[in-house]
Amino acid sequence: MDENVKFVVKKRVEKTIKNLEKNNMKACFVEDEKGVIEKIKELLNNEDTVAVGGSMTLFETGVIDLLRDGNYNFLDRYKEGLKPEDVKEIYRKSFSADAYFSSSNAITTEGELYNVDGRG
């Protein structure tokens, strides 16, 4: 990436993080999928109960595999063979999870999250 473009991107990321924090959200930036995995490992403790929202990004970055293979109590809403009542129970338990990971459709530089989903 061109150095000038890197500079502009860095400044936008810094502004976005600052504004997310103004809106009471803790924010960090990682460069790539490897950074995502490292950050998640840093944030979680062994045996933490972890839930996720509907997010293809979590699959694409390897987070779902990490949660399935790690030493976590993963409330796996994607596990094959779940019955509707099992999924409902996972959703209920998600409210008291130690950590909950999801993704946003967009994040504005003003520190606002933009989410559109099928659940409302």
Question: Which pLDDT tens digit goes with each residue over 58-69?
Answer: 999 999 999 999
Q: What is the mean pLDDT of residues 10-29?
A: 97
Query: What global pTM score does this model have?
Result: 0.85
Q: DSSP 3-state assignment of 82?
A: coil
Question: Which pLDDT tens digit goes with each residue over 70-117?
Answer: 999 999 999 999 999 999 999 999 999 999 999 899 999 999 999 887
pLDDT on residue 116: 85
Q: How many helices (H) and strands (E) does the chain have?
A: 5, 5
pLDDT above 60 for 20: yes
pLDDT on residue 120: 52
Q: Which amino acid is at 43?
A: L
Question: Which pLDDT tens digit goes with each residue over 24-36?
Answer: 999 999 999 999 9
Q: Element (H or E) spanning 49, and its range?
A: strand 49-52
For residues 24, 60, 63, 2, the Cα torsion angle rounded to the nearest 10 degrees is -60
Q: How many CB atoms lie within 10 A of CB 63?
A: 21
